[in-house]
Amino acid sequence: MQGESIMIGRVKEILSSPAEFGYWLSGRRFCRLIPDELYIKFKYKCILGRWPNLDDPKYLSEEIQWLKLYDRNPLYIKLVDKYAVRSYIEEKIGKEYLVPLLGVWDSPMDIDWDALPNRFVLKTVNGSHTNIICTEKAQLNKKKTISTLLRWQKSNQTFYYGREWPYKYVKPRIIAEEYIDSTAPGGLIDYKFMCFNGIADNVMVCSDRQTGKTRFDHFDKKWNFLRYQYVDANKPEDYSIPKPNLMDEMFNIAEFLAKPFPYVRVDLYCENNRIYFGELTFYPQSGFDTDYTEETDLYFGTKLDIHKF
């Protein structure tokens, strides 16, 4: 009875949340037989509650679906690969912006644990949110870690969830990077720059990740707080957070990296007065983000001119 109760609870959870239902749906093997455009339209409807207009997209969420289907720049395959992108970044802005690499392996079974320091971060190169942060190697369950990494490698969930086509062609590997110490109380802060037609419109500051209550705050270049999300309506009228000393430089780096692309989110870190490259994200939330207001989604849509591409 207990198992049945848990199952019923899980079914209710899936059906009550469009995002949960969309994620569950992408894991069904029969969905892999559905053509990309049909799948994307149905997924969009399930999560955002309306059918996307892909003939004349107005919302950014619609434009991201259009880009997934029709912008097939082969360079994207290299740039979504968390290992391969490193040589591109080194060539464009310099090796000093890369988080030091500790190792790369075709399989987690090949990881040389003895060669790794006490603290490090493991990542699959072909996934999203597929990171394992180790702060004490002696306490790491290596068997469980290997099992998790193997599952992430084989599932290629990033492709099947939103049909982000470049991930279909990325060679699945594992990398280890240095652990970046953070002076922020809630852990390392992530700065995500939304770039439209090569222009960085705003930065999303992701803080307090280690508390389990991550904050997402948007600011423009002049550090004006932007109420883009539904939750922002509850924040004080004079709400703000301190502007990092190197923020202007980070905006410049983001725009330089974004120049060749119609739309990309450039993720950076800034710690100990040093800027680190995080990743290039061409399809944030796969274009199914439910945190932004409909007005914001439409406003972002006006910033991107897909007809140029």
Mean pLDDT, residues 70-95 taken together: 98
Q: What is the mean pLDDT of residues 35-39?
A: 95
Whole-number mean pLDDT of the chain?
A: 92
Write the pLDDT tens digit of every residue in 102-114.
999 999 999 999 9
Question: Which pLDDT score, from 0 to 100, does residue 127 have?
Answer: 87
Q: H helices of the chain, where?
A: 2-16, 18-26, 36-48, 60-70, 75-79, 85-92, 142-155, 157-162, 247-258, 294-303
Decide if pLDDT at 280 tops 70. Answer: yes
Neighbours of 174 (CB within 10 A): 27
Q: Where does the pLDDT of residue 4 fall: very low under 50, low under 70, confident under 90, or very high at 90 and above?
A: low
Amino acid residing at 66: W
Per-residue model confidence (pLDDT) at position 63: 98
Residue 80 pLDDT exceeds 80: yes
Output the CA–CA distances (angstroms, integers) from residue 79 to 41, 159, 166, 176, 224, in the order listed: 26, 15, 9, 18, 31
Is residue 45 over pLDDT 60? yes
pTM given for the model: 0.90
| Amino acid 16: pLDDT | 57
Mean pLDDT of 216-230: 98
Instruction: Please report which confidence band the pLDDT of residue 1 belongs to, taking 50, 70 and 90 as the band edges.
Output: low
Q: How far is CA 265 from CA 53, 114, 281, 284, in A?
A: 23, 36, 5, 7
- Lowest-confidence range among 32-46, 101-115, 222-236? 32-46
Domains delineated in the chain: 2-50 (no CATH), 100-178 (no CATH), 190-308 (3.30.470)
Query: pLDDT band at 306, cuts 50/70/90?
Result: confident
- Residue 5: pLDDT band by 50, 70, 90 thresholds? low
- Model confidence at 206: pLDDT above 90: yes
Count other C-beta atoms under 10 Å from residue 230's C-beta: 13
**Residue 221: helix, strand or coil by DSSP?**
coil
Least confident of 38-42, 50-54, 206-210: 206-210
What confidence tier does 31 reach under pLDDT thresholds 50, 70, 90?
A: confident
Q: What is the pLDDT of residue 73?
A: 97
Mean pLDDT calculated for residue range 199-211? 92
User: Which pLDDT value is given to residue 216?
Assistant: 95
Instruction: Over range 28-47, report the average pLDDT.
Output: 88
As a whole number of Å, the end-to-end CA separation of the chain is 56
Instruction: Give the pLDDT band (50/70/90) at residue 279.
Output: very high
